[in-house]
């Protein structure tokens, strides 16, 4: 079993927060516990929630429009950006409320606002409701079908933090939750959900299995002691084999979606998709190769690099919208 090297400590900064982040550097002192509760000092989670929304919008825009994006598509891209920021904060708040007893016993998480006593459960609940309400107000600008699709994800949002207690696959539950934005974004444009949208959603689920298994490696020793289940614990003896399986499923499904989306495009669009899918494969393979499972800093850096992996696909979908 690998022994993980600890991340460097800081006086007020939570372990996996961005160095010199705006919350620790510039936010009013009284607001910092609430902002940290929403992970605003760690923006990678917002990116990973937002990117699938952009995938869904751009895929639908490509299927609906002959060329380019309509003004409402740009509004959807912007609205999902704000909505992802708020819902990620609300989801993290809910997660920390449920996980407070576990977080107190894990080195990387014991300094979070709730287990450290900086925020009470009652104040955390109010903060969660406030963020959710703002996100819902933005959602009301979408069509009725996409509002129904979005609100139906609340069951997954509520159950995900509990998954680590009863299954070795909590990363699967996170994948089902975090990639729901594909369906929301797609339905906001098309007012329906197609097979390609479902395939892209399934691709995103596999992508989350890939990156969140890497993320879970940071807490491997503490999770074993506490009894928290994860795919990192389940597959630790063959971890890079399973990471490769997860990213190949993601990459293959993305290839199928892109092939279908570019069937009617010109050679420029087809070429851009081919080049993009090759870059995506190389990026994910490099992550597996460079990953040091015994180092928390390596696991965290590799996990964070998945923002770029997701943005590669965003770029591909954006390009084919204009070809």
pLDDT, tens digit (0-9, with 9 covering 90-100), for 171-210: 999 999 999 999 999 999 999 999 999 999 999 999 999 9
Q: What is the pLDDT of residue 67?
A: 66
pLDDT cut 70: percent of the chain above it:
93
Angle between helices 121-139 and 71-98 (to 10 degrees): 160
Measured distance CA(16)–CA(304) in Å, rounded: 10
Measured distance CA(282)–CA(96) in Å, rounded: 35
Quickly state the pLDDT bin for 18 (edges 50, 70, 90).
confident
On the question of pLDDT at 46 being above 60, the answer is yes
Under the phi-then-psi rule, with left for phi > 0, alpha for psi from -120 to 50, and beta for the rest, what region is 20? Answer: left
Measured distance CA(238)–CA(216) in Å, rounded: 15
* 145-164 mean pLDDT: 92
Mean pLDDT of the chain: 90
Q: What is the pLDDT of residue 281?
A: 97
On the question of pLDDT at 8 being above 60, the answer is no
Residue 12 DSSP symbol: S
- Rounded (10°) CA dihedral 91, 93, 96, 100: -150
Measured distance CA(102)–CA(107) in Å, rounded: 10
What does residue 164 show for φ and ψ, rounded to 5 degrees? -65, -10
On the question of pLDDT at 249 being above 60, the answer is yes
Measured distance CA(46)–CA(84) in Å, rounded: 6
Q: What is the pLDDT of residue 9?
A: 39
Measured distance CA(172)–CA(151) in Å, rounded: 20
The whole-model pTM stands at 0.90
Under the phi-then-psi rule, with left for phi > 0, alpha for psi from -120 to 50, and beta for the rest, what region is 21? Answer: beta
On the question of pLDDT at 275 being above 70, the answer is yes
Q: What is the pLDDT of residue 1?
A: 47
Measured distance CA(80)–CA(50) in Å, rounded: 7
On the question of pLDDT at 15 being above 50, the answer is yes
Output 53 or 30, whichever has higher pLDDT. Answer: 53
On the question of pLDDT at 10 being above 70, the answer is no
Q: What is the pLDDT of residue 294?
A: 92
On the question of pLDDT at 96 being above 80, the answer is yes
């Amino acid at each position: 079993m690998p022994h993980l090297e600890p991340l460097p400590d800081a006086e007020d900064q939570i372990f996996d927060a961005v160095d010199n982040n705006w919350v620790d550097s510039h936010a009013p002192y009284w607001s910092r516990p609430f902002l940290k509760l929403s992970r605003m000092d760690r923006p990678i989670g917002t990116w990973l929630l937002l990117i699938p929304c952009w995938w869904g919008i751009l895929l639908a825009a490509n299927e609906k429009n002959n060329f380019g994006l309509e003004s409402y598509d740009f509004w959807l891209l912007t609205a999902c950006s704000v909505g992802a920021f708020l819902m990620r904060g609300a989801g993290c708040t809910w997660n920390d409320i449920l996980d407070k007893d576990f977080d107190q016993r894990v080195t990387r998480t014991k300094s979070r606002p709730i287990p450290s006593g900086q925020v009470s459960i009652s104040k955390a609940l109010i903060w969660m409701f406030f963020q959710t309400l703002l996100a819902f107000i933005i959602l009301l600008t979408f069509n009725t079908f996409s509002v129904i699709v979005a609100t139906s994800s609340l069951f997954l949002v509520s159950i995900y933090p509990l998954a680590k207690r009863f299954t070795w696959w909590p990363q699967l539950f996170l994948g089902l939750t975090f990639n729901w934005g594909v369906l929301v974004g797609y339905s906001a444009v098309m007012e329906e959900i197609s097979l390609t949208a479902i395939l892209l959603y399934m691709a995103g689920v596999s992508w989350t299995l890939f990156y969140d298994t890497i993320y879970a490696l940071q807490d491997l020793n503490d999770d074993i002691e506490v009894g928290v289940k994860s795919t990192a614990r389940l597959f630790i003896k063959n971890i890079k084999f399973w990471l490769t399986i997860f990213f190949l499923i993601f990459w293959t499904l993305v290839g199928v979606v892109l092939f279908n989306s570019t069937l009617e495009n010109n050679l420029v669009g087809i070429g851009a998709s081919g080049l993009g899918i090759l870059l995506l494969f190389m990026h994910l393979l490099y992550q597996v190769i460079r990953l040091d499972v015994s180092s928390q800093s390596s696991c965290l850096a590799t996990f964070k690099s998945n923002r770029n992996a997701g943005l590669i696909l965003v770029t591909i979908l954006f390009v084919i919208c204009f070809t």
